[in-house]
Structure 1
Amino acid sequence: MTQIWDVIPDIHADIHRLDATLALLKERAERDEEAPAPIAFLGDFIDAGHATKVSDDAAVLTHVRQLVQDGQAIAVMGNHELNAILYHTPGPDGAPLRVHGAKNTGQHRSFLRQFGVSTPQAMVWVDWFLTLPLWRDLDGLRVVHACWSQPHIDIIAARRPDGRLQPEDLWEVATESTDFGRAVKIVVGAPELDLPAPYSFHDRNGDERRRVRIAWWRADAPTWRQASLSVPNPLELPEGDVPTGHAVAFYPEGSTPVLVGHYKMDGTPSIEAPQAACLDYPSTACAYRWRGEGRLAKTQLLLAERAESMPA
Structure 2
Amino acid sequence: MQAFVAPQDGYDLIGDVHGCGATLATLLETLGYHIVDGVYRHPTRKVIFLGDIIDRGPRIRLAVQLASSMVNAGEALIVMGNHEYNALAYCRRARPRAGGEHRDFLRSHTSRHNRIIRETLDQYQHHPDEWDEALRWFMRMPLCLELPPLAPGQSGLRVVHACWDEPLVRTFLERYPDGCIDEDFLHESIEHDSFAYRVLDRMTRGANLRLPEGVEIHSGDGFTRRSFRTHFWAREPRTYGDVVFQPDNLPGELESRWLSEQELANLPYYGPEQPPLFLGHYWCEGLPALPAPNIACLDYSAVKFGRLVAYRFSGEATLDAANFVWVPVPREPSRRPVPEELSRDTLSNQSFANGASQ
TM-score, scaled relative to structure 1: 0.85
Are 2:291 and 1:275 aligned?
A: no
Whole-angstrom distance in 1 between the partners of 2:87 and 2:213: 36
CA contact under 8 A between 1:83 and 1:98: conserved in structure 2? yes
| Partner SS, residue 66 of structure 1 | helix
Are 2:269 and 1:250 aligned?
A: yes
Which of 11, 14, 18 aligns to 2:20? It is: 14
Are 2:78 and 1:75 aligned?
A: yes
- C-alpha root-mean-square deviation of aligned residues, in Å? 2.9
Which of 258, 276, 283 aligns to 1:240? It is: 258
Identity %: 28
Whole-angstrom distance in 2 between the partners of 1:220 and 1:306: 37
Structure 2 counterpart of 1:58: 61
For 2:249, give the aligned amino acid.
P
Deviation at 1:207, TM superposition (A): 8.7
Q: CA, structure 1 residues 207+286, in 2 after alignment: closer, same or farther (shift >3 Å)? A: closer
| Partner SS, residue 174 of structure 1 | coil
Structure 1 counterpart of 2:228: 212
Are 2:321 and 1:303 aligned?
A: no
Deviation at 1:121, TM superposition (A): 3.6
Are 2:52 and 1:44 aligned?
A: yes
| Partner SS, residue 225 of structure 1 | helix
Structure 1 counterpart of 2:343: none
| Partner SS, residue 229 of structure 1 | coil
Whole-angstrom distance in 2 between the partners of 1:42 and 1:307: 22
For 1:150, give the aligned amino acid.
E
For 1:293, give the aligned amino acid.
E
Structure 2 counterpart of 1:176: 192
Whole-angstrom distance in 2 between the partners of 1:144 and 1:24: 24
| Partner SS, residue 311 of structure 2 | strand
Structure 2 counterpart of 1:104: 113
Structure 2 counterpart of 1:31: none
Q: Which moved more, 1:246-255 or 1:58-67?
A: 246-255
Which of 317, 322, 331 aligns to 1:294? It is: 317
Q: Deviations over 1:71-92 (max 9, x none)?
A: 1101111110000100111111
Q: CA, structure 1 residues 73+26, in 2 after alignment: closer, same or farther (shift >3 Å)? A: same
Whole-angstrom distance in 2 between the partners of 1:148 and 1:181: 15
Whole-angstrom distance in 2 between the partners of 1:62 and 1:222: 45
CA contact under 8 A between 2:8 and 2:45: conserved in structure 1? no
Structure 2 counterpart of 1:24: 30
Deviation at 1:241, TM superposition (A): 4.5
CA contact under 8 A between 1:199 and 1:237: conserved in structure 2? no
Deviation at 1:203, TM superposition (A): 4.1
Are 2:132 and 1:126 aligned?
A: no
Whole-angstrom distance in 2 between the partners of 1:181 and 1:233: 27
TM-score, scaled relative to structure 2: 0.75
For 2:295, give the aligned amino acid.
A
Q: Deviations over 1:72-127 (max 9, x none)?
A: 10111111000010011111136111111111111111221132499544222111
For 2:13, give the aligned amino acid.
V
List aligned pairs for 1:79-158, cutoff 5 A: 79-93=82-96, 95-116=104-125, 119-139=128-148, 140-158=156-174
| Partner SS, residue 299 of structure 2 | coil
- Considering only CA atoms, is the larger Rg found in Structure 1 or Structure 2? 2
Whole-angstrom distance in 2 between the partners of 1:200 and 1:133: 36
Whole-angstrom distance in 1 between the partners of 2:118 and 2:24: 19
Q: CA, structure 1 residues 299+305, in 2 after alignment: closer, same or farther (shift >3 Å)? A: same
Q: Structure 1 unaligned segments of length 5 or more: list them.
A: 28-33
Deviation at 1:59, TM superposition (A): 1.3
| Partner SS, residue 284 of structure 2 | coil
Which of 220, 240, 254 aligns to 1:224? It is: 240
Q: CA, structure 1 residues 95+201, in 2 after alignment: closer, same or farther (shift >3 Å)? A: closer
Q: CA, structure 1 residues 221+125, in 2 after alignment: closer, same or farther (shift >3 Å)? A: same
Whole-angstrom distance in 2 between the partners of 1:122 and 1:5: 28
Q: CA, structure 1 residues 208+236, in 2 after alignment: closer, same or farther (shift >3 Å)? A: farther
Whole-angstrom distance in 1 between the partners of 2:93 and 2:275: 38
Q: How many residues align?
A: 298
Q: Structure 2 unaligned segments of length 5 or more: list them.
A: 1-6, 34-41, 97-102, 149-155, 334-358
